[in-house]
Structure formats: structure tokens, C-alpha cells
């Protein structure tokens, strides 16, 4: 009977602590470090580009520098809050939070920072037992662990475009930051 009471108590308390231990999981711990470094570098890139160059795009079909920045924010929000979390996806067509229109450089950077903050908070509470859970990702079955990796790749992809835009405008991008 005593063993049953101990086991029941352990199971009860572990149900409250497992999400709190997410940040102790090696994968989550490494990802959080990478995400924070990625945020710092993205913000540095965004701050370095002059505001009057935020409308620059390499070709007519390309996104502008500002659109790339806000697209990163939208994708970070979608991958984290909707795919890893439980919130319904924002509608890209009607969403105004991640649209460039009438936003200053300062406002866009603030939006990106807030998005990273909420993503980091979500990941710190993420139940690591869900890492192997699969979901539909554009018609492909992907685990939530893969969603973490796709999120990081997507940030890098669009930030890389932003770095090229800086070079095309005669600017030297900030020095690359490791571990992102």
C-alpha cells in the first residue's frame, strides 16, 4: 500500500513538472540557444539596414527586405504557436500583425522581438513527449522535432536573402554569429 501511495504521488507531481523540465531536455536546450542567437543576429541585420532601404527587392517577384523580415515573424509564429502549440493558424491574407503596410522599421523590429519572446516561452513549456508526434506539413508527415528544425531553416533562408539585399545596397552585413 505504501508503494502504491508513493507511486501515485510521483505520477501526480510529475504531471505538473514535465513541461517545466522541457528546457532541461538536451534538444530543447540546444534549440533555445540557437533560437536566441538567431533572434539576436536577425535583429542586428534589421537594425543595420537603413529604413529607406526596407522597400528594396532584388527582382520584381522577390519579397522586399521588410517583407522578408515580417515573413520570418509570421513563419516563426505559425511554426511555434500553431504547429507546436495549439493555437489556430493566422490567415496570411487577413492578418495585419505581420504585414509591412504602414509599419516603421522600429515597429517591425518590435514585432519580431515579441514573436521570438512568445515562441521562446512556448518552447520552454513544450512537452517533450510530443517531439515524435506527427502532423501534416504541406502534405508530408513531419514530427514536431522536424518542425523545430524546419523553423530554424526557414529563418536562415529568409535572413540569407536579407543579407544579400544589404550587399546589393553596398552595405556590409553584421558579422555572422555562430550557433544559430
Percent above pLDDT 70 for the chain: 86
Lowest mean pLDDT among 2-6, 122-126, 162-166: 2-6
CA dihedral 159, 61, 111, 142 (to 10 degrees): -70
Whether the CB-CB separation of 65 and 48 falls below 8 Å is answered with no
Nearest to 115 by CA among 72, 147, 85, 149: 72
d(CA 127, CA 28): 10
Pick the CATH number of 22-168 from 3.50.50.60, 3.40.630.30, 1.20.120.450, 1.10.3720.10: 1.20.120.450
pLDDT in tens, 131-180: 999 999 999 999 999 999 999 999 999 999 999 999 999 999 999 877 66
pLDDT in tens, 12-51: 555 555 454 565 899 999 999 999 999 999 999 999 999 9
Task: Decide if pLDDT at 9 tops 70.
Answer: no
What single-letter DSSP state applies at residue 45?
Answer: H
Question: What are the structural domain ranges in the chain?
Answer: 22-168
Amino acid at each position: 500500500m505504501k508503494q502504491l501511495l508513493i507511486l501515485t504521488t510521483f505520477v501526480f507531481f510529475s504531471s505538473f513538472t514535465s513541461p517545466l523540465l522541457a528546457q532541461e531536455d538536451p534538444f530543447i536546450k540546444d534549440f533555445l540557444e540557437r533560437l536566441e542567437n538567431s533572434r539576436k543576429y536577425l535583429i542586428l541585420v534589421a537594425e543595420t539596414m537603413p529604413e529607406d532601404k526596407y522597400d528594396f527587392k532584388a527582382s520584381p517577384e522577390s519579397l522586399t527586405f521588410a517583407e522578408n523580415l515580417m515573413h520570418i515573424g509570421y513563419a516563426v509564429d505559425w511554426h511555434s504557436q500553431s504547429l507546436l502549440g495549439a493555437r489556430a493558424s493566422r490567415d496570411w491574407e487577413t492578418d495585419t500583425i505581420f504585414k509591412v503596410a504602414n509599419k516603421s522599421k522600429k515597429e517591425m523590429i518590435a514585432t519580431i522581438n515579441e514573436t521570438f519572446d512568445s515562441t521562446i516561452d512556448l518552447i520552454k513549456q513544450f512537452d517533450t513527449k510530443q517531439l515524435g508526434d506527427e502532423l501534416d506539413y504541406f502534405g508530408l508527415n513531419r514530427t514536431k522535432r522536424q518542425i523545430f528544425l524546419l523553423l530554424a531553416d526557414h529563418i536562415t533562408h529568409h535572413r540569407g536573402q536579407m543579407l544579400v539585399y544589404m550587399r546589393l545596397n553596398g552595405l556590409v552585413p553584421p558579422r555572422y554569429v555562430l550557433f544559430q
